[in-house]
Amino acid sequence: MKKVTIKRAILDMIEETDDTLLRELPLLKKWAVKADARIGSYYNYEKKNYVIEVENCSADIPCGVVHVLGIILGDAGCDCDVDFTSSMNIWTDTLDYISTDVLESQVVTWSDGTANIVQLDWEIQNGKIVFSSDYDGQYITIQGLSYEMDSEGYPIIYESHIDAISLFLKRKVLDREKWRLLKTGNDIRALQNELVLLERAYHRAVRYARTEDDPITESQRRQIAEMINDPLSGHGMYLLRLDNWY
């Protein structure tokens, strides 16, 4: 699947509407990222590891991370081979890389030659990872799904998302214009109709983008064909139910 910068969707929308919107690139970028997140695609993101320092009971989520997959206590590095599974791993100064089969919310600490299992309860609050205990000054390694960025700091997305994002931006700009007209007492009925048409076109484009992101496999295609052609539950039975028996 071809990937392009999200800026292309912004420039396409500006080219089709109003060149003066170039002055509002930061706002349009924010809206475009929001639109892409609404389309959603697990395969659109990079899986990356980050090492960050905890301040008191919280740590900032790195820029570009859209979902935190897992956390382990300690600096395990940013290599791709760090294992974030139900076997929680920990890197310490006194031990090499160790692992134990414990619950995902538990980690191993090492003190005085004794391994201790402790809870690592955390949640996301206001763009931060918040812990139930104080780990001030310690490092954590997180694994997250992140956008790949271009040289200008714009996210890289699937090309199939471009039309949907462009339509979303058109609707946002037109919706803002609606409120400006309302303040001046102008008639907005024509504008309302255009908003409805843009909304419908946007949802069609989103469905297409999601279909392109995850096309069905050959085995899934065969399964669908078997379901449709099944004489007891497929298309033939459906036609039989609709037949006029009188």
Per-residue pLDDT reduced to its tens digit, 4-16: 999 999 999 999 9
Query: Could you tell me which residue, 174 or 88, shows the higher pLDDT?
Result: 174
Residue 98 has pLDDT above 50, yes or no: no
For residues 92 and 153, is the Cβ–Cβ distance under 8 A?
no
Q: How confident is the model at residue 172 (pLDDT cuts 50, 70, 90)?
A: very high
**What is the chain's mean pLDDT, rounded?**
77
Rounded to whole angstroms, the Cα distance separating 236 from 201 reads: 33
Residue 111 has pLDDT above 60, yes or no: no
Report the DSSP beta bridge partners of residue 144.
48, 68
Interval 134-157 mean pLDDT: 86
Q: How confident is the model at residue 95 (pLDDT cuts 50, 70, 90)?
A: very low
The full 3-state SS of the chain, as one line of letters, equals CCEEECHHHHHHHHHHCCHHHHHHHHHHHHHHHHHHHHHCCHHHCEEEEEEEECECCEEECCCCEEEEEEEEECCCCCCCCCCCCCEEEECCCCCCCEEEECCCCEEEEEECCEEEEEECCEEEECCEEEECCCCCCCEEEEEEEECCECCCCCEEEEHHHHHHHHHHHHHHHHHHHHHHHHHHCCCCHHHHHHHHHHHHHHHHHHHHHHHHHCCCCHHHHHHHHHHHHCCCCCHHHHHHHHCCCC
Q: What is the structure's pLDDT at 93?
A: 41
Residue 140 has pLDDT above 90, yes or no: no
Q: What is the structure's pLDDT at 6?
A: 93
From 118-127, 130-139, 152-161, 201-210, the region with the lowest mean pLDDT = 118-127
Q: What is the structure's pLDDT at 89?
A: 42
For residues 158 and 209, is the Cβ–Cβ distance under 8 A?
yes
Interval 211-237 mean pLDDT: 74
Rounded to whole angstroms, the Cα distance separating 146 from 163 reads: 22
- pLDDT one-digit tens code per residue, 42-78: 667 888 888 888 988 889 888 778 888 878 777 777 7
Residue/partner pairs of 7-14 with CB below 8 Å, 24 or more apart? 7/150, 7/152, 7/154, 8/162, 9/35, 9/157, 9/161, 9/162, 9/163, 9/165, 9/166, 9/169, 10/165, 10/166, 10/169, 12/162, 12/166, 13/166, 13/169, 13/170, 13/173
Taking every pair of Cα atoms in the chain, the longest distance, rounded to a whole number of angstroms, is 87
Query: Could you tell me which residue, 76 or 209, shows the higher pLDDT?
Result: 209
Interval 215-241 mean pLDDT: 71
